[in-house]
Amino acid sequence: MWQRIQAVVGKEFIQLRRDRRTLAMMVMLPVLWLVAFGYAVNFDVETIRVVIVDKAASAESSAVIDQVKEEEDFKVVEESELDDGKNRLKLGETDVIIAFPKQYKQFARNKQERLQVQVDGSRLFQAQSALRKINGLLADVQQSNMKKMQQDIREKLTTNSSGTKWSESPQWKAITKNLPPEKVAQLQSGFGKLSAEQMKKVAKEMEQSLPNTDDLQPAVDVLYNPDLKSVSFMIPGLVGLVLIFITTLMTAMGVVREKERGTLEQLIVSPLGSFELLLGKLIPYCLIAVFDFLLVFAVGVWFFDVPFRGDLLPFLGVSCLFLLASLGIGLLISTVSQNQQQAMQLAILTLVPQFILSGFVFPLEAMPWGIRWLSYLMPLTYYIPISRGSFLKGVSPLTDEWGIIALAIAAVLFLVLATARFRRSLG
């Protein structure tokens, strides 16, 4: 029995040695997954691009800006106008806007005095990282300011011994500038010459009168995806994933199936030309992909309530360009595969990296450069920002010129290579 098992094992190793593509697939796929999940799968974005708009131009705003600039995780750009910052946010050139209104005060009593923070909700993980880091930094700044104010109150109230009425002294004005008017009036009515013990009592009372914690929080405004819904983040990317999955896998499997069944030779001897045969094989998969695209689009918009704010016709045009690139990949795989098993393995080998490295789930900014450059070789990397910009931001796909050029190059390159190999195999 063991000899028979040994023979089967030996035969399997011989077949693997002869089938180099399958052997390479078995070796490379685990390595690919290890590298991807070990380095690229990271939800924490280390670098947050920050635009600062300082309308206050005060010592208080400058102090906060200095704290932001000292943070290693923040890449700061200053703008003079809030509209310029919003335009950067809309085009994906920044992750967060920190805006100081003209009436800005660190201890605000109303919204007009509060710090304004805006983040791009269409980039879910960047938005979450930005909010977490911004809130942490501002909390540290406010806590430091609170301690400094408390210390100033104690020092100023317990060191003045000149006999001057406190309600008329410069120290009094410095202490009460951040207190509510009613509290100032209440304290002012009873002030005269106070003893050290009385001053300590007043100091304690004034410390308790410092602003509430709610007044210290900035006014946060999440744009494009206010509720930070995962479905609004996923559906626009899923449109591209469905397109490339259907076209790549089905095209590769469909053409190779003809080889296995021997029907491809029958088509070759028919009056059909090579271009007609190629086009006839691609059109059905193209139509199926368009149907799936429209299905995902409709379900996302009408069932999941994902908004589509962009221009439909330009978006469909760019989607067709991406579709051609995906068809080229599938056809190229079919020309180098001898059977359906090889075609499926090679298709998965191209689809898995695009799922992980394209920005569909995991942000590109969280990946090290040693891995990130691979993502720029994949068509899905360029299509997903266009799709999310059209759905959530209302940005026209035509504004992303480099993305369109990259998709056009990919479409032409893959289709030309696939066509050349396909014709050679027919010959």
**What's the confidence (pLDDT) of residue 210?**
53
Q: Is residue 231 predicted with pLDDT exceeding 50?
A: yes
The residue ranking higher by pLDDT, 308 or 198, is 308
Q: Is residue 27 predicted with pLDDT exceeding 90?
A: no
pLDDT band at residue 294 under the 50/70/90 scheme:
confident
Extended beta strands in 6-133, E state: 48-54, 74-79, 96-100, 116-120
**What's the confidence (pLDDT) of residue 182?**
62
**What's the confidence (pLDDT) of residue 193?**
45
Highest mean pLDDT among 287-296, 330-339, 381-390: 381-390
**What's the confidence (pLDDT) of residue 143?**
72
Q: Is residue 8 predicted with pLDDT exceeding 60?
A: no
Average confidence (pLDDT) over 51-71: 86
Highest mean pLDDT among 117-126, 198-207, 293-302, 314-323: 314-323
Average confidence (pLDDT) over 220-229: 78
**What's the confidence (pLDDT) of residue 200?**
56
* Percentage of the chain lying above the pLDDT 90 cut: 15
**What's the confidence (pLDDT) of residue 406?**
95
SS3 assignment, position 100: strand
Contact 243, 289 (CB under 8 A): yes
| pTM > 0.85 | no
Q: Is residue 195 predicted with pLDDT exceeding 60?
A: no
What's the rounded Cα separation, in Å, for the pair 393 and 92? 10
Domain ranges of the chain: 48-146+214-223, 154-208, 229-426
* Residue keyed to tokens 């589509």: 308
**What's the confidence (pLDDT) of residue 192?**
42
| Phi, psi (deg, nearest 5) at residue 282 | -85, -35
Average model confidence (pLDDT) across the chain: 76
Q: Is residue 266 predicted with pLDDT exceeding 50?
A: yes
User: In sequence order, which residues have a C-beta less than 8 Å from that of residue 171 and are 6 or more positions away?
Assistant: 156, 157, 160
**What's the confidence (pLDDT) of residue 265?**
64
The residue ranking higher by pLDDT, 411 or 363, is 411
The per-residue pLDDT for range 173-194, each reduced to its tens digit, is 666 666 666 666 655 555 544 4
For 296, the token pair is 């995902």
The residue ranking higher by pLDDT, 251 or 190, is 251
Average confidence (pLDDT) over 28-56: 69
Contact 244, 286 (CB under 8 A): no
